[in-house]
Every structure is written in C-alpha cells, then in structure tokens.
Structure 1
Amino acid sequence: MIGYPEAPKAWWLTRGMARISGVNLPRAVVEGWLQRDELEDLVTRCAACRRSADCEAWLARSASASSMPGFCPNKARIEALVS
C-alpha cells in the first residue's frame, strides 16, 4: 500500500479529494501515470495547507460531489489526472 506514515492526515485528505474526481492515487502510481515524486508533492502541498479542517468537513458531507472544492491547493493537479 502506498501511503505516507509521516503525514497520515495529509495522505488521507489528498486521497479523499482525489476520489471525488475519480482518481485512485495508489493505482495511478502502480499503473505509471503518476510518478511517486508527483504523489509526494501532492501530499506535501496538502500538509502545508492551512485549511485541513475545512477539507475534512467538506469531505464528510460531500461523498456524492462531482468536483473538488476551489480552496484545495491540489485541485488543478488532481483534476488534470482525469483528462
């Protein structure tokens, strides 16, 4: 399993946001369309974000959302993986 034991909350939030867009991050790395260092950048950017509480609340109520919230610093990069 690909994960980030040093930043578990950021990993969980990044993975949750990616799921909203239909992206499975571990599978993306295994299948080669996302490099491990790119995934690390996503998790690092999430860990540096000061809106993790907003993110958690948004994920908790947005299971059926079709797009990520505008405040997510990884929005553009994750959504680019879909196209």
Structure 2
Amino acid sequence: MKPIGSQCRHYWLLQDMAKATQVDLARAFREGRISTQEWAGMVGRCRACSWPDGCQSWLRATPGPRHIPSRCCNRARLALLKIEEELDCT
C-alpha cells in the first residue's frame, strides 16, 4: 500500500490547484458550501493521490487560470464549486 503524502504539502497543493482553476475554497467555506469535514476530505483525497509530483509540475507550468486537470482527484468537487461561484449560488 502506498503511503499517503504529508498533510501540509497536500493542503497547499489543493490550495494552489483551487487558485489555478479559479475556485475560492475560503469563500466556499465562509458561505457554507463546504464544511470543515469536506475540506479535510479533499485534503485527504489529495494526500492519497498518485499524481502529486505531476500536479506540482502542472501547477508550475503555466501561469493564469486553467481547467482542472483530469488527473486531479478533487476535480469533480472543484468543478462543482466553480460552477456555484459562476452562478453565485450563495
């Protein structure tokens, strides 16, 4: 079984992925669209992901807003949060 990555590294990878794809996790949390448990679950999924080095390379590759990569294990949730933000579903 593959060991999971460090909580700190993956917290920041998730934050960087959200920022790169124009998803505001802090706003979603403040507005009640994600709970503390859900945010922790997203970090947990990231920690168990097999693509952290590729993710980090992807994040560094091109500045500016991008689409959420298919390899991201939080892709579906980030995409939904992005849609909610675009529709301003508060």
How many Å apart are 1:14 and its aligned residue?
A: 0.6
- In the other structure, the counterpart of 2:41 is 41
Q: RMSD of aligned C-alpha atoms?
A: 1.4
Tell me the percent identity: 32
How far the C-alpha of 1:82 sits from its partner, in A, is: 1.2
Gaps of 5+ in 1: 1-5
Structure showing greater radius of gyration is 2
> Is 2:10–2:46's contact at 8 Å kept on the other side of the alignment?
yes
Runs of 4+ off more than 2 Å: none
TM norm structure 1: 0.83
| Equivalent residue runs for 1:24-63 within 5 Å | 24-63=24-63
* CA shift for structure 1 position 54: 0.3
1:9 matched residue in structure 2: 9
Q: State the distance in 2 between where 1:66 and 1:75 align.
A: 12
Q: What's the CA shift for 1:27?
A: 2.4
Q: Distance in 2 between matches of 1:80 and 1:20?
A: 15
